[in-house]
Amino acid sequence: MEEQIPTIEYNTENTERADGKKLARVHSIESFGSVDGPGIRFIVFLKGCAMRCQYCHNPDTWDTHSDELVTADELLAKAIRFKSYWGAKGGITVSGGEALLQIDFLIEFFRKAKELGINTCLDTSAQPFHRTGVFFEKFEELMKYTDLLLFDIKHIDSDEHKKLTGWPNENILDCVRYLSEIGKPIWIRHVLVPTITDKEAYLLRLREFIASLNNVEKIEVLPYHTLGIYKWENLNMPYPLKGIPEPTPEQVQLAQQILEGKA
Ligand code: SF4
């Protein structure tokens, strides 16, 4: 029997101002991002994530509460100051945490950005995605204003995905399939964690899945790193991947070639 995806406790406090404008819970902002999407980008990291990836380098984004609540207009005003650096390819990326937990805000933010001709990119693990009800209607709406998705596939095997993140992956892979159906461009990202995601059999399965899609513009193998361990320590949480080494450049290159069907 297919496993039931547990529902998420959404934090719905303070998501709308009295005048109806949506509010975002912002974790942080990077004015000159160069790795999260094409060109130079204004990156907004939103708060809240239900996943518990064992290698998460931003566990301080998990909590959905935030003292910093901003409207789409306020964030756009900040972003536009950097517009002259964006060139033809750059723009705005919203990341997290898991940005889809604030989908109402995202719709308003990206709609207004598109009205100003700004390129919009969503960095997501798609954990809240399901093809039903109000969420799906909102997701379809959001896709009208989203130019590109950076799509994190944490593990191709659902049982292993659950061990690694706390959640199965069926709905996540279904989100990728849906994006392929509507022809929405995506970059697939995959964190290479020695002994966990680097097994050839898993990489080949992921390759097969990617090959079945028609919307993948780029594949990025990201090496697992330990730079976020101090954040786990600051939050008094034991780091689950202690002792797992970072992959070598050769391991990363081989995984990249496998996912691109070149090895
Ligand atoms: S989805 Fe991202 S923010 Fe959430 S736990 Fe995983 S790595 Fe961290």
Six-digit token string for 203: 């990489």
Answer yes or no: are the C-beta atoms of 152 and 125 closer than 8 Å: yes
CB-side neighbour CA atoms (13 Å) of 66: 23
Higher pLDDT, 263 or 238: 238
Phi, psi of 40, rounded to the nearest 5 degrees: -85, 135
Is the CB of 51 inside a 6 Å radius of any atom of ligand 1?
Answer: yes
With a cut of 70, say whether residue 137 has pLDDT above it: yes
Mutation test residue for ligand 1: of 28, 36, 53, the one with most atoms within 8 Å of CB: 53
Is the CB of 54 inside a 6 Å radius of any atom of ligand 1?
Answer: no
Answer yes or no: are the C-beta atoms of 18 and 35 closer than 8 Å: no
Is the CB of 56 inside a 6 Å radius of any atom of ligand 1?
Answer: yes
Q: Tens of pLDDT along 221-255? A: 999 999 999 999 999 999 999 999 999 999 999 99
Quote the crossing angle between the two packed helices 72-80 and 103-115, to the nearest 10°.
50
Q: How confident is the model at residue 11 (pLDDT cuts 50, 70, 90)?
A: low
User: Length of the chain in residues, anyone?
Assistant: 263
pLDDT number for residue 28? 94
With a cut of 60, say whether residue 3 has pLDDT above it: no
Q: What is the mean pLDDT of the chain?
A: 93
107-134 mean pLDDT: 97
Q: How far apart are the CA of 198 and the centre of ligand 1, in A? A: 19
Tell me how far apart the alpha carbons of residues 99 and 48 are, in angstroms, rounded to a whole number: 8
Q: What letters, b where the CB count within 10 A reaches 16 and e where it falls short, cover 70-94?
A: bbbeebbeebeeeeeebeeebbbbb
Is the CB of 97 inside a 6 Å radius of any atom of ligand 1?
Answer: yes
Is the CB of 58 inside a 6 Å radius of any atom of ligand 1?
Answer: yes
Six-digit token string for 116: 């100003």
Q: Tens of pLDDT along 201-230? A: 999 999 999 999 999 999 999 999 999 999
Tell me how far apart the alpha carbons of residues 187 and 251 are, in angstroms, rounded to a whole number: 20
Tell me how far apart the alpha carbons of residues 157 and 161 are, in angstroms, rounded to a whole number: 6
Answer yes or no: are the C-beta atoms of 46 and 95 closer than 8 Å: yes
Residue whose Cα lies nearest atom 7 of ligand 1: it is: 56
pLDDT number for residue 2? 42
Is the CB of 49 inside a 6 Å radius of any atom of ligand 1?
Answer: yes
Other C-beta atoms closer than 10 Å to the C-beta of 231 total: 16
Other C-beta atoms closer than 10 Å to the C-beta of 131 total: 13
93-117 mean pLDDT: 97
- Which residues face 41 on adjacent strands? 33, 91
Six-digit token string for 5: 């995806």
Ligand 1 atom at minimal distance to the Cα of residue 127: 1
With a cut of 50, say whether residue 1 has pLDDT above it: no
Q: How far apart are the CA of 136 and the centre of ligand 1, in A? A: 21
Q: How confident is the model at residue 5 (pLDDT cuts 50, 70, 90)?
A: very low
According to DSSP, the β-strands at 23-33 and 41-46 are: antiparallel
Tell me how far apart the alpha carbons of residues 174 and 189 are, in angstroms, rounded to a whole number: 16
Phi, psi of 25, rounded to the nearest 5 degrees: -95, 110
Rounded to two decimals, what is the model's pTM? Answer: 0.94
Q: Tens of pLDDT along 19-78? A: 899 999 999 999 999 999 999 999 999 999 999 999 999 999 999 887 779 999 999 999
Mutation test residue for ligand 1: of 165, 190, 193, the one with most atoms within 8 Å of CB: 165
- Cα(first)–Cα(last) distance of the chain, in Å? 35
pLDDT number for residue 65? 83
Q: Tens of pLDDT along 184-206? A: 999 999 999 999 999 999 999 99
